[in-house]
Amino acid sequence: MPLIRISLKRGKSREHIQAILDGVYDATRATFNVPENDRFMLVHQHDEGEFVYGSGFLGIERTDDLVIIQITAAGRTLVQKKALYQDIARRLADKPGLRPQDIFISLIGVQREDWSFGNGEAQLAEPAA
């Protein structure tokens, strides 16, 4: 049930972006046990001056190939979160060839009842007592 937002500088090829989408989705399936077809992903491309980052923050040297991945999800353990970070970095290093230093991931934790997948219903909420 994650909602995934991916931000990067404008100018990458469709194949490059698709590789990022596929790698992140596959990593969430592997580490967060996300069901097949639970794929809700947005790509935001930014022009020069609209994508600002600390190029050396925490001693990590980032480049203009930086990809910021924000994942909203519910109910994951610290072990799962760490596995996700590693899996995304590994997959995106393989394809499309990103440096691990250029992969920034932020998780936003929410409750199961914070989701409506359509029809005005809270499909994952606990039934009312």
- As a whole-number percent, the residues of the chain with pLDDT over 90 amount to 86
Strand partners, 103: 67
Active-site entry in 2, 96, 100, 127: 2
Closest CA to 9 of 41, 40, 43, 42: 43
Per-chain mean pLDDT for the chain: 95
Q: Is the pLDDT confidence value at 1 over 90?
A: no
Q: Is the pLDDT confidence value at 74 over 70?
A: yes
Q: Output the pLDDT for position 90.
A: 98
- Mean pLDDT over residues 6-24, rounded? 98
Q: How far apart are CA 69 and CA 35, in angstroms?
A: 20
Q: SS3 for 44?
A: strand
- Whether the full predicted model's pTM is greater than 0.75, yes or no, is yes
- What CATH class does 3-114 carry? alpha beta
Residue 100 annotated to the active site: no
Using CA of residue 24, residue 30, residue 33, residue 39, what is the dihedral sign? positive
